Structure 1
């Protein structure tokens, strides 16, 4: 199909018209959450506001934020969904969970309308990144509760693509099956799983390029935003690799178009985005070149809507015109504010470590994990487990240790105890956890 957009009306709507549409939906949503959620009613009342006081996006700044930890705690205490449940169980048709890479997976509820909204935003993002009804997609996300399995599966089907629901686990069987299926294929997984599959394929004597996987749709990790990571995947597989940003709690998704000018926000008419300074919590104008943390508000969600949900995703925003014609803002992920580690006063983002290690290919794979044994302040040298590329002789490791330590200090200003592990030990079938906190 040659059409350039999944939903041309909303994806190319002028800012003024979109603002009018979203303001009306926002007003209705605020009245809904106030009437049906004691949790949000309490948040409104705590600052002396009523739903009628929220008329447009700028008014959202008057309300408190929602933190995932608040909602997750109530689930640990026994609630099925949490205090933001607004729809009755009669109307809820699906319960899924988050990935749980930064803690306990959180359960999410969906009505028929909520699923429609998720599929709509997902289809817009997938279409932007080049997915088409003719594609045969092997979905390697977890189908056991996790939203990336069945829920993203439905977004692919909404677009019209053919989906094979493989899930996670048994990488050897997956590679054998791909070899048997001679049709052109697309892979949907985390970026690190594409690297993991490459290691397994090497052990099995399989040439990845013989598997006829021409497209890669990657989500769940920020790896594709790290210079060099995309190129590594594309060179290994002989595919075009595309980046998809998603936040299961809100259903919002964003993706790159063919011009690779950043991730196009795909939530117009469904989710309102704000940008804040994560330290002062003040709103930053959504203008070209601004840097801050994304905050999202559902404006059509029924089952478990979220108001001013902090993502802790630290991004740079672009608002200059994109050649593709989409009119919404774009962004580039710089890291997660809650993944940032302060080591002896130096702020370190995992993405920056990965960028430094990727620059040391072919001696390293770029995969790593940082291990923290004591709670902050971190005034000690953390352990940095680093994957060594296949074929590196043991005799070369002492010099490689010195080189890694030097580059980390030169590029990022911090030191660590380097521990090498063999290729394939860190990259995971699930989301790869970059910071391990043993405290």
Structure 2
């Protein structure tokens, strides 16, 4: 039995109502940040801002952006989590960043945060074709591993949908994994992009067709949006339909996910107020322009994330799109991740990113 929507009322809500809902959630999270999180209280006080000054999506621009340097500094001064946790929060899960840009940082979730994150990922899974009775081969680590904390959330989301899962995690010999896939034939895959390609190639080398029909992949959103990479997936997973997402340790929920129309990624207005800004000026860009991702998580309350600069350059974001062919009404990210701000190279006045080179060759 297939499921078209996880929460039809929210997923197909008229845009005017969605905007109103998003604004109400913005007001709630900003008040919580100011009242309960020392960092945000000080951050807003420096700009002489009160919660009453932030009434809607546009008002978010009044709050100064911040990012990894401030997070790292705050956690170093007040280890391990810094002044970023809501007063009274009971911690349910802790995850660490990869540390690729410096000392790793930490993110925490309350029990309520985890429940909300699982529900959003269940919505994503259904949008990506998962249904009761499916079996997902879940390849994200289940224990502490820097940069990946999605394993437990993914397994719980599968359960919520009514699908089974194999908690493959990490630390298992690759040949044993391949034998397991051949014998049990899970039809869904959740895990890193390049691992999915490796599995497909190893199955092919054994003369076995990949059993995966739905592949939810993350970790390299930019490369997978290059057409040649899609072709590589089709070559090793001939029955597979690939769905990509955008997320990070700091985003904390998977609120940007691809639907079956494959014309971009839906951005859930009820859980994320996404902004794209010019990294040079901090001003919002037009819907057709690339910009740096600024995250405003609307459902994370244990360690809220508001006006947080991800350092990622995304291709374009339409905050007021036409209704998608899948029937969903939320914002739409097109083209995926182009690179990171640190990767920008100026060539004769033109800003070039790795994705531009990949598309050209």
TM-score, length-normalised on structure 1? 0.73
CA distance in 2, matches of 1:68, 1:165: 31
- Residues 261/33 of structure 1: CA separation in 2 closer, same or farther (3 Å cut): same
Question: 1:140: how far off?
Answer: 1.1
Counterpart of 1:95 in structure 2 is: 94
Q: Which runs of 5+ in 1 are unaligned?
A: 357-406, 408-439
Counterpart of 1:69 in structure 2 is: 69
- Contact conserved, 1:294 with 1:310, CA < 8 A, in 2? yes
- Residues 101/194 of structure 1: CA separation in 2 closer, same or farther (3 Å cut): farther
- Residues 330/34 of structure 1: CA separation in 2 closer, same or farther (3 Å cut): same
Q: What SS is found at the alignment partner of 1:228? A: helix
Question: 1:164: how far off?
Answer: 0.9
- Contact conserved, 1:135 with 1:185, CA < 8 A, in 2? yes
Deviations 1:78-135 (A, max 9, x none): 612232111435x222212334444444321111221122112212222112122222
CA distance in 1, matches of 2:154, 2:3: 22
- Residues 326/38 of structure 1: CA separation in 2 closer, same or farther (3 Å cut): same
Question: 1:281: how far off?
Answer: 0.4
CA distance in 1, matches of 2:102, 2:140: 18
- Residues 302/163 of structure 1: CA separation in 2 closer, same or farther (3 Å cut): same
CA distance in 2, matches of 1:352, 1:248: 26
Counterpart of 1:232 in structure 2 is: 232
1:46 aligns with 2:46: yes
CA distance in 2, matches of 1:71, 1:199: 40
Counterpart of 1:80 in structure 2 is: 80
- Contact conserved, 1:117 with 1:270, CA < 8 A, in 2? no
- Residues 69/131 of structure 1: CA separation in 2 closer, same or farther (3 Å cut): farther
Question: 1:219: how far off?
Answer: 1.0
- Residues 249/260 of structure 1: CA separation in 2 closer, same or farther (3 Å cut): same
- Residues 21/213 of structure 1: CA separation in 2 closer, same or farther (3 Å cut): closer
- Residues 187/342 of structure 1: CA separation in 2 closer, same or farther (3 Å cut): same
Question: 1:327: how far off?
Answer: 0.6
Counterpart of 2:170 in structure 1 is: 168
- Contact conserved, 2:182 with 2:208, CA < 8 A, in 1? no
Greater relative CO, 1 or 2 (CA 8 Å, sep 6+): 2
CA distance in 2, matches of 1:27, 1:48: 17
Counterpart of 1:350 in structure 2 is: 354
1:186 aligns with 2:188: yes
Q: What SS is found at the alignment partner of 1:298? A: coil
- Residues 208/218 of structure 1: CA separation in 2 closer, same or farther (3 Å cut): farther
- Contact conserved, 1:10 with 1:268, CA < 8 A, in 2? no
Deviations 1:332-380 (A, max 9, x none): 2241333524277674423234445xxxxxxxxxxxxxxxxxxxxxxxx
Deviations 1:217-266 (A, max 9, x none): 1112122211111121121122222212223322243222111111111x
92-101 or 110-119, larger mean C-alpha shift:
92-101
Counterpart of 1:212 in structure 2 is: 211
- Residues 153/100 of structure 1: CA separation in 2 closer, same or farther (3 Å cut): farther
- Contact conserved, 1:136 with 1:186, CA < 8 A, in 2? yes
1:32 aligns with 2:32: yes
Q: What SS is found at the alignment partner of 2:165? A: strand
Superposition pairs of residues 53-64 of structure 1, within 5 angstroms: 53-64=53-64
CA distance in 2, matches of 1:340, 1:36: 36
- Contact conserved, 1:198 with 1:208, CA < 8 A, in 2? no
- Residues 228/120 of structure 1: CA separation in 2 closer, same or farther (3 Å cut): same
Q: What SS is found at the alignment partner of 1:213? A: coil
- Residues 156/63 of structure 1: CA separation in 2 closer, same or farther (3 Å cut): same
Superposition pairs of residues 242-281 of structure 1, within 5 angstroms: 242-250=243-251, 251-265=253-267, 267-281=268-282
- Contact conserved, 1:275 with 1:284, CA < 8 A, in 2? yes
- Contact conserved, 2:136 with 2:186, CA < 8 A, in 1? no
CA distance in 2, matches of 1:310, 1:341: 16
TM-score, length-normalised on structure 2? 0.88
CA distance in 1, matches of 2:157, 2:79: 28
- Residues 208/219 of structure 1: CA separation in 2 closer, same or farther (3 Å cut): farther
Counterpart of 1:413 in structure 2 is: none
CA distance in 1, matches of 2:84, 2:133: 39
